[in-house]
Amino acid sequence: MSLHLLPTAMLGILGGGQLGRMFTMSALSMGYRVTVLDPDTESPAGALADVHLCAAFDDSEALQQLADTCVAVTTEFENVPAESMAFLERHIRVSPSSEAVAIAQDRIREKRFIFGAGLQVAPFLAIESVQDLEQDLIGHLPGILKIARLGYDGKGQIRVFSSEEAKAAFIEMGSKPCVLERKLDLQTEISVIVTRSGTGQSVCFPVAENQHADGILDISIIPARVEDAVADHARLMALQLAESLDYVGVLAVEFFVLDGGELLINEIAPRPHNSGHYSLDATLFSQFDQQVRSMCGLPPGDTRLLTPVVMVNLLGDIWGDDEPAWDVLLSQPNVHLHLYGKKSARIGRKMGHYNVLAEEAEWALRQALELKGRLKKE
């Protein structure tokens, strides 16, 4: 992976949602060309890319076309069929590897891998059949039953307080493999995004503090309001995990922070992450720039924080009959608005985000919340 791929090479991406769109914008601005594979005719990334292959992720003709026309391929989501990535790997550079994606797309494999790498996760049990819930569950209750595959934004998760409830929840989720995880008292949640190049050079982005609402990321505060030792520890854990995975590309690591600063890894994402969107405006290179750089064999760019920042997600919930009051954000000289070009707003759908930049994270947070309260038109 030492050979640099330079503009105007064609880069491919599996998935054309907002993450693919921001990747595409970054790649285009550097002079690369982009092909997006996504079955959605209204794909936010497809609308900007040089080529939009509008086909399923396991469509053999589309995959062959990617292999024939691109010099490297990456992904914007973990649920691409591992076989599609393995097929592409036989022809062109693929980062992250199909192996890393296969681990991240299955909570059971993911937690076992993290634990096997010597890092801590929340106490969990792999539940593959109802019999697995016959055992003594003390230590895992009250808990959260999480579907092993295809869960996101808190979907595919049920809170359970007893083994009867756990069994009912397992059946409700279609008796598919799950993990039962103990519900922990969280002091806070943080995340670290790492970029690792094919030559093993790694850098971390500044640590983000994340607040969720209804299981969906709501606000990220950077720098995270944790002790330096906790932030340093999180960075080290993220780097260690990237190394253990022999990872190439952008890897997001979500952490639970317990009382006393103890860190557990919640989950990983083999791609840029919502909690890294602040990097579009507050670091020298964004997480999407890093995705382009790593797939092209270039060393990671500088990730130092230029200014404290607060990112706020814009969900479809604030769309009424009218668009939200964008002038509230656009009239501020220290606020960057990013909209993803999605045509229909739905409850819980990620439509965009804004970054508030200020000298102090606390000021940015106060302003971010004040602006948020004025966005929805009544």
* Sites of contact with ligand ATP (CB under 6 A): 122, 144, 146, 151-155, 181-184, 186, 189, 212, 215-217, 254, 266-267
Token pair of 55 as six digits:
């086909």
Token pair of 102 as six digits:
């296969």
Which entry of ligand ATP, Mg ion, none binds 183, CB below 5 to 8 A by partner kind?
Answer: ligand ATP
Q: Nearest-CA neighbor of 124 among 113, 135, 106, 112?
A: 112
Token pair of 164 as six digits:
């009867």
CB of 143 to ligand ATP, least distance (A): 7
- Decide: 167 and 131 in contact? Cβ < 8 Å: no
Tokens 């914008």 map to which residue? Answer: 25
Which entry of ligand ATP, Mg ion, none binds 349, CB below 5 to 8 A by partner kind?
Answer: none
CB of 278 to ligand ATP, least distance (A): 16
Nearer residue to ligand ATP within complex by CB, 80 or 122: 122
CB of 184 to ligand ATP, least distance (A): 4
Please state at what angle helix 18-29 crosses helix 287-295, rounded to 10 degrees. 70
CB of 26 to ligand ATP, least distance (A): 22
CB of 352 to Mg ion, least distance (A): 20
Which entry of ligand ATP, Mg ion, none binds 153, CB below 5 to 8 A by partner kind?
Answer: ligand ATP
Nearer residue to ligand ATP within complex by CB, 191 or 195: 191
Binding mask 247-266 for Mg ion (x = CB under 5 A): -------x------------
Amino acid at 359: E
Nearer residue to ligand ATP within complex by CB, 127 or 358: 127
Bridge partners (DSSP) listed for residue 144: 159, 181
Nearer residue to ligand ATP within complex by CB, 197 or 266: 266
Q: How many Å apart are CA 82 and CA 95, to the nearest integer?
A: 12
Segment contacting Mg ion (CB under 5 A): 155-163, 246-254, 272-280, 342-350? 246-254
Nearer residue to ligand ATP within complex by CB, 198 or 272: 272
Nearer residue to ligand ATP within complex by CB, 215 or 299: 215
CB of 326 to Mg ion, least distance (A): 28
Direct distance between the N- and C-terminal alpha carbons of the chain, in angstroms, rounded to an integer? 54
CB of 266 to ligand ATP, least distance (A): 5
Tokens 């693929």 map to which residue? Answer: 94
Cβ count within 10 A of residue 196: 25
Bridge partners (DSSP) listed for residue 209: 190, 221
Nearer residue to ligand ATP within complex by CB, 59 or 218: 218
Nearer residue to ligand ATP within complex by CB, 105 or 195: 105
CB of 75 to ligand ATP, least distance (A): 15
- The count of chain residues that interact with Mg ion, using the rule CB under 5 A, is 1
Which entry of Mg ion, ligand ATP, none binds 277, CB below 5 to 8 A by partner kind?
Answer: none
Q: How many Å apart are CA 71 and CA 29, to the nearest integer?
A: 18
Which entry of ligand ATP, Mg ion, none binds 357, CB below 5 to 8 A by partner kind?
Answer: none
Q: How far is CA 63 from the centre of its chain?
A: 24
Please state at what angle helix 82-89 crosses helix 60-69, rounded to 10 degrees. 40
In the three-class reduction of DSSP (H, G, I as helix; E, B as strand; rest coil), residue 21 is classed as helix
Cis preceding linkage at 8, omega within 30 = yes
Can you say whether the dihedral through the CA atoms of 182, 243, 28, 334 is positive or negative? positive
Phi/psi at 346 (nearest 5 deg)?
-130, 160
Which entry of ligand ATP, Mg ion, none binds 144, CB below 5 to 8 A by partner kind?
Answer: ligand ATP
List contacts with Mg ion (CB under 5 A). 254
